[in-house]
A and B are shown apart, each in its own frame.
Chain A
Amino acid sequence: MQKIVYGYCIPWWRSSSLTKTLLVMKLTFLFLTAACLNVYANGVSQTITLSGKNVELTKVFTAIKKQTGYVVFYNHSDLNGTSPVTLSVYDMPLRSFLDIMLKNQPLAYNIEDKTIMLYRRAVPEEKALDSKQVTDIIANIIKGKVTNAQGEPLQNVSVIVIGSQSGTTTNNEGQFTLTTPDNKDIILEFSSVGYQTKRVKVGKQTEVNVVLELEVAGLSDVVVTALGVQRSAKSLVYANQIVKGSELTDIKNDNLMNSLNGKVAGVTISPSASGVGGSAKVILRGSKNAFGTNQPLYVIDGVPISNSSNANGQPNSTFAGGPDGGDGISNLNPDDIESISVLQGASGSALYGSQAANGVILITTKKGKIGTAKINFSSSYTNNTISYKPKFQNKYGVTPNGNQSWGAALTTPEENDNLSVFYQHGQNISNSVNFSSGSALAQTYFSYANTTASGVEPTNKLVRNNFTFREIGHFLNNKLTVDANTNYIQQKVDNTPSMGLFFNPLTGLYLFPVGNDITQYKDQYSIPQPERNGLLTQNWIANEDLQQNPWWILHKNPNYSTRNRLILNASVKYDFASWFNLQVRGNIDRVSDTWERDLYSGTNPVNVIGRNGAFTRSDLTRTQKYGDVIASLKIPFKSPFKLEGLLGASNTDVITNGTSIDQGLGLIIPNIFIAQNVATSVTSNVSNSSTHSQIQSAFGSLNLSYNDWLFLNITGRNDWSSNLAFTSNISYFYPSTGLSIILNQVLKLPTFISFAKVRGSYAEVATSVPQYITNPLSYLAAGGSVNFNLVEPNPKLKPTNTKSTEIGADLRFFDNKLSFNFSWYKSNTYNQFIQYTPAASTGFKVGYLNAGNIQNKGIELLLAYDLVKSEQLSWNTALNYSSNQNVIIELNPNAPDAQILLTTPNPNAYGSALQKGGSWGDIIGVKFERNESGQIELNSGGQPINNNKFVKVGNPNPIWQMGWNNTFNYKKITLSFLIDGKFGGHVMSMTQMLMDSYGTSKVSGDARDNGGVKVNAVDPNGNTVSTIDALKWYSTVGGRSGIGEVYMYSATAVRIRQATLGYNFPIMNNLIKSIRLSLIGSNLLYLSKKAPYDPEITMSTGNGMSGVDVFSQPTTRNIGAQLNISF
């Protein structure tokens, strides 16, 4: 097995690791295909229903032919010594039937095509049968009905005979019928989503009626934990919150992570303000790392996947980010997801190693279910509109000789709404279908989904197609399980809006002079130039770097991105014994991205060289390969102790290869956007990028339980990281341990407490340094020169280490109606990888060191209550709360006051930094110079003076957040809504800053109405000044490099996040199992919002640019309908 995983290092595999891995995948697929064929040979119509006493075999053969079309060949003499049979079978698979019927006969069989060949087999003497003895082969027919606690029939409940290949599902009336091979020791297992799985031992009875209890999360659940290991929820030593797939699909979002917003405690989700297909920033329990990602690891069915952006990455400049590059998680089809489990803490994720230091989001995908054949179709449509508008003044016109709005009062206030001239209704249309079926031997799942969306900014479009095929096969008496999953994703996004000042249509739109008519610029955004024989150039009122004609940008600065992604997963597991199994898994996640931007001649020369336009393009392929081998042990001591454990090794290998074409010296012939048309100087305008990193790991886990009420968990993992090559130690180890106690099983608790668990854990997770840091090289630079390595040497780099402690309790009251979960955690991240700027006078430009301590501390609460639970009406309400406090205790000890910049502030107003004593992601800006009594100091010209340095003016992270979810069911109607709020934190609006300085904002108009801005200021002579002219004030405090402290706003926002109203139609026929139509809405209403924009959205899902608005597209309000049909 090791050969497969570590094949890279073994001679016979030395040629190319990729082809080898592909080979493994291929073999696995061959295996699976075989399994499928086998299933279908065994399938649908090849079942036997037969009963009778003392039936001759020949008669049985006739019946077989009649019922299945299979012909039985045999030599008459072979029937000597056989005996008649007594039968009672119902809908029994042919093979099972033959197995049973021939069990005590001297015959064996072979099936080829549609022929059953019988032949004689040796029967031991003592077992030879008396020919007169009638073999009593009774395959029981078991019938029954499954209901819920209220006595309502449950459909689609899976019923399996444990240890056999029989299984079925209940019909609309909750009834089932199945045949069992034997009536001895039969155990039936009933399972259905949302209900506790129940096993029933069947004796002689032929009718089994079962009542399934509603599932209460965390009680008897089996949850998927790290590495895909299933464990009982009550044994978990850490917090773990599960979101069902349906919560992702009730209202489909073009990035499924946004569907989790407000639903999970300890998770902060910030959608990117980048139109359709944008990424989402997901932070679990606060940001921990000064450098590198702070986002969690995404794991599908136990195997990590990539969440990478395209080569364009994430913006990190208030000038011109360039568009958001999207992320990996948004590519998935939410309909394929069975559930998502969020492991906020390090101990839950310790086994995933380095990549999981920021927590893990475990995604379990759907698979075919035994005994079912189901088709689900879902179609949804939403209409999206901007959910707020900046506030404009309409009274004061254009400045003389200028293009700002500081001119004289208009005779009649302007009534045009430029925003409605620009924004359109966006749409999101999503259609998906999935087919799933399964026998006891193999389960199949296939799905296809199409998402087509258009943004509120014209020309912004997304089309995504997802194909999924999953097959699970069981072999060798269920000892060998092969599971393979293929995902193919194809996505195209056009005209992702740029954020920041450049290439952004919103700057021109929002700064357009009041009183002028913008429609002329919409109708004619370009004009021909006679001196260039009609070549079009843009038509706009202003010629300055930070604005262009908005429609010119839409049509003449287009960008396109495409993604083709293939995710292949395969796992093979063999149960050597009931207490020992070995599993080998492999995964390839290959993402190919292209990104292109065409800038037509006539585009503002900022960032465009030459007068003929520019072409830029990048292609990037990222291949992540993961393989692991895990041996699992389960030792049921004949004592109250139980021991489970695993030992494994894994290899994660990530390779990226990219090519990018920069604009060189611009285009040769205007507006031909191909690489051949790019003018270049001495050097090529084509550049390659390439990365390779590998982490090899060995890990183990031990779970010891006592009497099912005391659970001890210990894990350990050792990583060898290629990113640490060239340092003295490439290897690092980190452990975790935890304990949970089920109190209600040991203590006598009041009866209203139905469940009580306390838990505590401690974990360490180490993270390697970034790629290539330990081996700094020089690079070719533009024009044929070289950017030499000017890194201050430090050979002692080592991994970052996060140490976290967590304690918590899970409680249920009143027959589980009320549940309460609580967690407190504290994590400290030491040995931060810090990229610092050495003193300029050293002559070095950059240095790296490990130091620092960033602490996150917080609590999480979950409260759920079934307020009403009756046959007609039910009302469930759930509340989640979390708070996080982040403190930077220590950073670079050599320069304790130095800021580590996440976003460089100069020359604009917004910056983001880490600084000792502050919190992660502090917004830095300039402040007023004030005297001792707090008055703003003015200069001799009457302008406020600033403090000339960038200091903390706020922190955008919420102090606490809350989500409140309610679901009502009344007969066939379901109503649910989610209200959530993020409280505390402050954000900056550069949009407001610029609108104020241009005089287009309502604030600037009101100030003029009021004769100036009311201030508490003091002039250089010590005289108090209470009013400052509006233009003087806003031209000083506003503008792109304005005074940050003026433009900080509370980030508190409370909103109705989503609501659905659904109706389940009565079933009309047998073909259709259910029809549900829902009205859906998301981001419906702000109950409170203090900032001039939605403070939740972010301009980047990287570390920088959080808590600032630089002409970001407003959040949309989405209203629509969804239809679900299942067959």
Chain B
Amino acid sequence: MKKTTFTSNRLERVNTSFKSTFFIVTITLLFGCTKKFESFNTDPTGITKDQLKIDFNNIGLYYPGIQQNIFSNYGMYQLIQNLNADNYCGYYQSADPFRGNINNQNYFLVSGWNDYIYAVAYGDVMGPVRKIESEGTRTEAPDYWAIALILQVQAMSRVTDYYGPIPYSKVGLDNATPYDAQKDVYDLFFKQLDTAVSNLEAYIATFPGSKPFAKYDMIYAGNYTQWLKYANSLRLRLAMRIVNIDPNTAKTQALLALNNPAGLIETNTDNAGISGFGYQNPIWYVGTVWVDLACNASLITYLTGYNDPRLSKYCYPAGKMAPAPPGYEGKYLGIRAGTPVGAKPMYNGYSFPNFDIIQQYSPIVTMNAAEVWFLKAEAALRGWTTGNAQDDYETGINTSMAQWGVSAGNYLNDNTSTQADYVDPLTPTAGVPNASISAVSTITIKWDPAATKEQNLERIITQKWIAMWPSGGYEAWAEYRRTGYPRLFPVVVNNSGGTISTDLQIRRIEYPSTEYTNNPTGVAGGVSLLGGPDKGGTPVWWDTNKGRANPVNF
């Protein structure tokens, strides 16, 4: 848009349009005056592409945003994880009677809430990754590209596990993005991790110890070896997810991960926690500022039943945020999923996460070493490796205990403790059903070599579930659906109108309403790939157990 363009436009108008001849004199006077328009219409507080090129900020500065948007900020975190997966996996239940107690937590899937899952994943993660790609990063800075791919797989694996088929391979290419079958999405995840791993390996080999990504890194301070471990661990996690539907790929990918020389996240110093750039821990925010989340009865009953030394680190006893129900002062008391909680502050006196530990700027963890040990335990249990499942299982527990600064004590040898029964002192009240319920699990802690694989898998997954608190709810819910473990209390109230079974529990989240208005053909393709109605009761591709009472994992 140089001056010449304007001139020709101007003259063209004058010549072709009789009405403008009226103004010919003035136009002549104005000639040249509009040449500053481009500078007027350039926001001086904005940053142009050229300005960003310095120090490769045109690529690097995308990363803090992408990393933060894995969990996103407090409000978005609440909508993309806390009021769905975190609840469905038995970690949390809000003490806030949102929407008159008719909401996600009791299976009334609030479309206005769940729309944000896509908005954050695509708008704040995939969109920026496409931009990074368009800057030539794929070839110009393969190490950066590797990080982008790892982060994208991390963020988008949660999305496909929530929904099933999602737009993935063709994102950013057209207005109407087609949906990919979940199998294809997983295949692409593995390929992208292949690229990430080989790019990082090549870079480390060429520039050992170099940390060009350090200033943008909110997880590993630029240490590419750590990122390699993260990529391998992620691959192992995703591989295990599809074991029941595609055991061959699962095993191949798991071994690929386990055999990579860089290793996996195996010590707590390798844990992938996000912090920095002023990012506030969203659990802290939602819990302390809004007092909008509390601990779920499933979590509390397992931890109290197991006399788990992590309990006091995980949660506050009742009565910390508001007076405890009579007789519960100092005791641990969760809220059962789907409880019609009374108006605030009625349930604020129940147990909340321990906000002396989860603080305003505490890192929020996407993956920890304990989880990897439990994945290795499962790999060993499946006979994929020569490792000892029991050793991996116990290392997993010890690693988790260490992460929280407690000692396991006799925990590993406890072969009697099981999940506790749940008593809700505030129900039943007038019109509210009784939320109290007997324990649904009999699994003990101590490894039992004589037990069936299925029983020991329950042990592994139950302990993995405990170890992934407080931020691994998205993964815990996926693993709950895959394996059927840990056994969780069903919702007290089911407002799904028959689309979700209380016993089988929720299997997925409905596609965002915005896709139906903005990408109707795409989402229609997605529903057809899903192979069932777009409802919370329809299982996703890898969900072979579909919530049955006696899961079959072998």
Contacts and interface: CB of A to CB of B under 8 A. Distances in A.
Interface of A: 2, 6, 8-9, 399, 401-404, 406, 542-545, 605-606, 609, 647, 649, 665, 681-683, 687-694, 696, 698, 700, 716, 718, 720-726, 728-731, 733, 735, 771-772, 774-775, 777-788, 790, 792, 837-845, 894-895, 897-899, 905-907, 939-943, 945-946, 948-950, 997-998, 1029, 1031-1032, 1035-1039, 1041-1042
Interface string B44-72: 11111100100001000110110010000
A401 B23 contact: no
Contacts of A906: 112-113
A781 B73 CA distance: 13
Contact of A716 (B19, B175, B291, B323): B19
Given A399-B343, A784-B64, A839-B177, A895 B172 contact: no
Q: Which of A402, A777, A943 has the most CB of B within 10 A?
A: A777
Contacts of A997: 100, 343
A1039 B177 contact: no
A683 B278 contact: yes
A605 B41 contact: no
A894 B100 contact: no
A839 B64 contact: no
A774 B42 CA distance: 9
A721 B57 CA distance: 33
B343 A605 contact: no
A402 B17 contact: no
B504 interface: no
A348 B517 CA distance: 40
11 contacts: A6-B33, A545-B289, A698-B26, A728-B9, A730-B6, A777-B48, A783-B277, A788-B131, A790-B128, A949-B111, A1037-B100
Contact of B102 (A649, A897, A939): A939
A906 B126 CA distance: 24
Contacts of B305: none
A317 to B, nearest CB: 12
Contact of B100 (A647, A729, A905, A1038): A1038
Given A401-B346, A775-B42, A842 B122 contact: yes
A792 B228 CA distance: 34
A814 to B, nearest CB: 45
A837 B61 CA distance: 24
B15 to A, nearest CB: 13
B72 to A, nearest CB: 13
Given A689-B45, A840-B122, A905-B112, A946 B323 contact: no
Interface in B263-314: 276-280, 288-291
Contacts of B288: 605
A348 to B, nearest CB: 21
A936 to B, nearest CB: 13
Nearest to B65: A785
Contacts of B26: 647, 649, 698
Given A689-B45, A777-B42, A790-B127, A943 B518 contact: no
Nearest to A650: B26
Interface string B151-191: 00000000000000011000110111100000000000000
A587 to B, nearest CB: 19
B365 interface: no
Most buried by B among A694, A774, A783, A1031: A783
B277 A785 contact: yes
B128 A544 contact: no
A1032 B431 contact: yes
A700 B522 CA distance: 52
Given A781-B65, A788-B65, A1035 B101 contact: yes
Contacts of B37: 694, 720-722, 724-725, 730
B29 interface: yes
Contacts of B344: 402, 544
Contacts of B102: 939, 943, 945-946, 1036
B433 interface: yes
Interface in B77-113: 97-102, 108-113
Q: Say what secondary structure dominates the interface of chain A.
A: loop
Interface stretch (B474-482, B507-515, B528-536): B507-515
Contact of A839 (B13, B30, B290, B519): B519
Contacts of A665: 278
Contacts of B426: 401
Contacts of B97: 1035, 1039
Given A545-B289, A894-B175, A1039-B97, A841 B57 contact: no
B46 A779 contact: yes
Contact of B130 (A733, A843, A949): A843
A785 B101 contact: no
B101 A1029 contact: no
B122 A948 contact: no
A690 B431 contact: no
B279 A700 contact: no
Contacts of B52: 778, 786
B40 A692 contact: yes
B30 A784 contact: no
Contact of A696 (B9, B33, B276, B325): B33
A771 B289 contact: no
A780 B44 CA distance: 12
Contacts of B99: 946, 1039, 1041
Nearest to A406: B343
Given A6-B33, A720-B30, A605 B289 contact: yes
Contacts of B49: 778
Interface in B437-465: none
Given A9-B36, A945-B497, 7 more contacts: A9-B30, A649-B29, A698-B30, A785-B65, A785-B68, A841-B177, A939-B102
B27 interface: yes
A907 B41 CA distance: 35
Contacts of A779: 45-47
Contacts of B412: none
A729 B44 CA distance: 23
Nearest to B349: A401
Contacts of B202: none
A31 B6 CA distance: 39
A620 to B, nearest CB: 13
B10 A731 contact: yes
- Residue of B57, B128, B276, B342 with highest tally of chain A CB at under 10 A: B342
A1038 B102 CA distance: 12
B463 to A, nearest CB: 35
A786 B122 contact: no
A542 B321 CA distance: 12
A692 B37 CA distance: 9
Q: Which of A606, A941, A1042 has the most CB of B within 10 A?
A: A941
Closest CB pairs A-B (n = 4): A777-B46, A783-B277, A1036-B100, A783-B278
Interface in B307-364: 322-323, 325, 340, 342-346, 348-349
Contacts of B494: 940
Contacts of B340: 941
Given A839-B177, A943-B101, A772 B123 contact: no
B428 to A, nearest CB: 11
Contacts of A543: 291, 322, 345, 348
Contacts of A696: 30, 33-34
B40 A837 contact: no
A948 B174 CA distance: 29
Contacts of B291: 543-545
B140 interface: no
Contact of B41 (A693, A716, A733, A898): A693
B11 to A, nearest CB: 11
B407 interface: no
B43 A777 contact: yes
A786 B41 contact: no
Contacts of A687: 45
A225 B344 CA distance: 60
Given A403-B345, A698-B30, A730-B6, A691 B43 contact: yes
